[in-house]
A and B are shown apart, each in its own frame.
Chain A
Amino acid sequence: MRLSGPEAAATRPAAAGAGPVDILVGIPSFNNAKTIGHVVRAVEAGLAKYFPGRRSLLVNSDGGSTDGTTDAVREAGVDLDSILIDHRADGFRKLVTPYHGIPGKGSAFRKIFEIAREQRAKACAVVDSDLRSITPEWIELLVKPVLEEGYDYVAPYYMRHKYDGTITNTIVYPLTRALYGKRIRQPIGGDFGFSGRLAAFYLDKDVWQSDVARFGIDIWMTTTVLANRFKICQAFLGAKIHDAKDPGADLSAMLHQVVGSVFDLMEEYPETWKSVRGSEPVETYGFAYSVGLEPIKVNLEKMTEKFRLGVKDLGPFYRTFLPPDVLAALGDMAARPGREDFAYADDAWVKTVLGFALACRRKKARREHIIKSLTPLYLGKVASFVIETWDSGAEEVERRLEDLCLAFEKEKERLIAMWDGNG
């Protein structure tokens, strides 16, 4: 562990015998020198402004950056006078540490959990290092429900562009909601608040050599909370604007890690999700408002082309586990040349996703092959969604997603029957 600047001696609490901290904020990073300075300043300002009397520790868990990310963390400092904060946060410390294990966000989080347990932190938060829209208020909203309201987990609620977070919107949110019955809008948001006892609970789980160590960490954290009945709420954080996650990241690898983690968790907690019917909202903190978001470019041709290619070439593989009505719908869609006729109906999509989950459960083929073969169908669903909501506003899109969620909830009984081999 390397400690930053003049606080170095005081920041080695475990080794130097310093006392526990009240708040720990973790920032996982890998080559984020451009943006991490802003995130560190926002965290420091948030801690100074909203938790002046608390001892707090900022932990940067870095994956071996070579672009000066760790230097940017050490050098970042906020001029508290300029943001009208007259009290100094004397208890604030920074810690820059590399993480070990499989390279990925999950391994970075594991290091943060270890330090949280070591420091006996009461409340923790993790925020992404590529955020451009983070403000000091995010820290208040992620930490306060834990410190003052007794929550164990605070999930983020952002305003995002209608076509941002498409894996979340078309698979993870509706499926998690239908399974565990809680309407957590951004279950893989990336920025969370959690209690110290939850950090210790996470650490005791033997998952750190799986996809959880990579992109699967976010859904694993949220689902573990839901399945183990920890107290959960959401915090409205405003807009989420950040650098592209990893421009080189392969979509099918991302799907494999995220969707694979959701399916793994279905295997791990079957009795929990089978006992749940319907869904209910959770307490949401923060002042909701609408924000203007930058328009994004969508290449529909490329998506529909990949969908058609997938249906044509992977058709024989799909036939081994997808129901005939879904196969017929896919064939029908692929055969239509016009963009305006391209529509992936919700019920067909729900049956597709559940078909993949059941295929993984029944080991119809190698799990990685099954999940990665979902990619062209997922792109088809995204393309269909984009075409359908091209002229829609944010609220209308949310209503549309609500319909999709209800379609997932409607299929739950059938999923339970088929999961147990009766369907």
Chain B
Amino acid sequence: MKGFIDKVIIEPLREAAQKIVAFLPGLLTGVLVFAAGLLVAWLVKLLVARIVRLFKLDAVFARSGVTEALEKMSVRDTPAKLIGRTFYWLVAFIFFILALKVMKVPVIDQLLEKLLLYLPNVFVALIILAIGWLLGNFLGRAVLIASVNAGVRVSSLLSRGVKGVVMLFAFVMAFEQLGIGRNTMVAAFAIAFGGAVLALALAFGLGGKDLARTYLEKKFKKDEDAGPDDLEHL
């Protein structure tokens, strides 16, 4: 009976205890590495904040419309602060991976390997999204100002449309980079884009025929009262 208890309960418990004891130094080292990582991440955040101040990047972000876009999204932090925070989490994440690595657990090792091979794709996808966002904001604002100056009543809609199209492109490219539903994304984009163009064409064709007639009449029929003013601005 005693032999049976030893074999069924004590022995596995002893083995488990031995494994835990063998794993403990690794776990401790991992925790230490991660704690050190958090400290390094905090230092990196401070350094990045200083560099941002030094190169006056806040003004650059304001110029490119990033600050305005963040304000619209109710993000209270400045772009510079956001960059600092991103770096903080990036460094923390790297140290988290390192911490897992030093624990030397085979399953985790295999998962990490796959993750590390995939990470550059995530990085490139994030860069694509960031560029898309910046470009979308810039072009959106340029279109908004130009169309307001031209007296287009749907300026805001046009601006949002341009921003949306640029972001849509960016998302499709980012997903393609990540390899997520590559064919589905391309097909979905083609359908959505083609559908939007067709809808616009129909809307303009059907809904705008009176507008087009009025416009052409104004353009080609001389109307003394409705013409532009004679103001000489300079």
Q: Does B64 contact A (CB under 8 A)?
A: yes
Q: Which residues of A272-323 are within 8 A (CB) of B?
A: 296-299, 302-303, 305-306, 309-310, 312-314, 316-317, 320
- B149 with A316: CB separation less than 8 A: no
Q: Tell which of B64, B71, B149, B228 has the most Cβ of chain A within 10 Å.
A: B149
Residues of A within 8 A of B142 (CB): 369
Residue of A nearest to B58 (CB): A363
Q: Is the interface of B mostly helix, strand, loop or mixed?
A: helix
Task: Give B196-234 as 1s and 0s: 1 = Cβ < 8 Å from A's Cβ atoms.
Answer: 000000000000000000000000000000011111111
Looking across the interface, which residue of chain A has its beta carbon closest to that of B153?
Answer: A309
Residues of B within 8 A of A320 (CB): 62, 67-68, 71
Q: Interface with B: A34-42, A333-341, A370-378, which one?
A: A370-378
The residues of A that contact B63 with a CB separation of less than 8 Å are 363-366
CA distance A164 to B230 in the complex (A): 9
Whether B145 lies near A302 (C-beta < 8 A) is no
In whole angstroms, what is the CA distance A363 to B65 when docked?
11
Instruction: Judge if A131 is at the interface, Cβ distance under 8 Å.
Output: no
Chain A min CB distance to B132 (Å): 18
Closest Cβ–Cβ distance, residue A37 to chain B (whole Å)? 22
Which B residues are in CB contact (< 8 Å) with A387?
none
- Are A317 and B141 CB-contacts (below 8 A) given A296-B230, A302-B229, A363-B59? yes
Known A-B contacts A313-B144, A313-B156; the reply to A252 vs B229 at CB < 8 A is: no
Partner of B59, one of A188, A258, A298, A362: A362
Q: Does B13 contact A (CB under 8 A)?
A: no
Residues of A within 8 A of B227 (CB): 297, 299
The range of chain A's interface size is 35 or more
Q: Is the CB of B68 within 8 A of A365?
A: yes
Closest A residue by C-beta to B229: A299
Q: Is the CB of A365 within 8 A of B65?
A: yes
In the bound complex, what is the Cα–Cα distance between A163 and B60 (angstroms)?
A: 39
Question: Are A244 and B232 closer than 8 Å at their CB atoms?
Answer: yes
**Contact sample, A vs B, 7 pairs, CB 8 Å cutoff:** A252-B146, A297-B230, A299-B227, A299-B229, A309-B148, A309-B151, A312-B156
